Amino acid sequence: MKIVADADVDRPIIARPRDDGHEVTSIAELGPRIPDGDVVEIADREQAVLLTADKGFGDLVVRCRLLSTGAVLIRLAGISQELKAELVSAAIRDHAVELPGSFTVIEPGSVRVRRLRLL
């Protein structure tokens, strides 16, 4: 799976999908000051699922319908980076078929997948 990781995604969370064989583009490695709209364009251009911890992408993806390839919002505050990486990896593995074209939220104990409605 192709993934674009927003600049706010921790390094262990970026490394784990790479280790699992996914193609991950890290915005932090490209330039951490890339505007959110440009991040969405990069994900769309690469036909990649966007991985982010920024709740603001919910508006861009769901309400503004700017991303058709899907987004995963990581809401795992207060736990170690290693456990976050494990939970994100498991969610990608277990929901790989559903992630493209969906807005997904990963929280402790749950993964919610919501299909995007496109114009």
**Can you give the CATH number for the domain in which 23 is found?**
3.40.50
Number of domains in the chain: 1
Mean pLDDT of 42-57: 89
Mean pLDDT of 19-47: 90
Confidence of residue 54 (pLDDT cuts 50, 70, 90): confident
Domain hosting residue 94, numbered range = 2-115
Output the pTM of the full model.
0.90
Are residues 76 and 87 in contact, defined by beta-carbon separation less than 8 angstroms? yes
Q: Where are the beta strands (DSSP E) in the chain?
A: 2-5, 23-26, 49-52, 71-74, 102-107, 110-115
Structure confidence at residue 64 (pLDDT): 57
In the structure encoding, which two tokens stand for residue 61, read together? 């993806």
Confidence of residue 115 (pLDDT cuts 50, 70, 90): confident
Which residues make beta-bridge pairs with 69? none
The crossing angle, in degrees rounded to 10, of helices 11-19 and 81-94 is 40
| pLDDT exceeds cutoff 70 at 84 | yes
What is the average pLDDT score of the chain?
Answer: 89
Structure confidence at residue 119 (pLDDT): 45
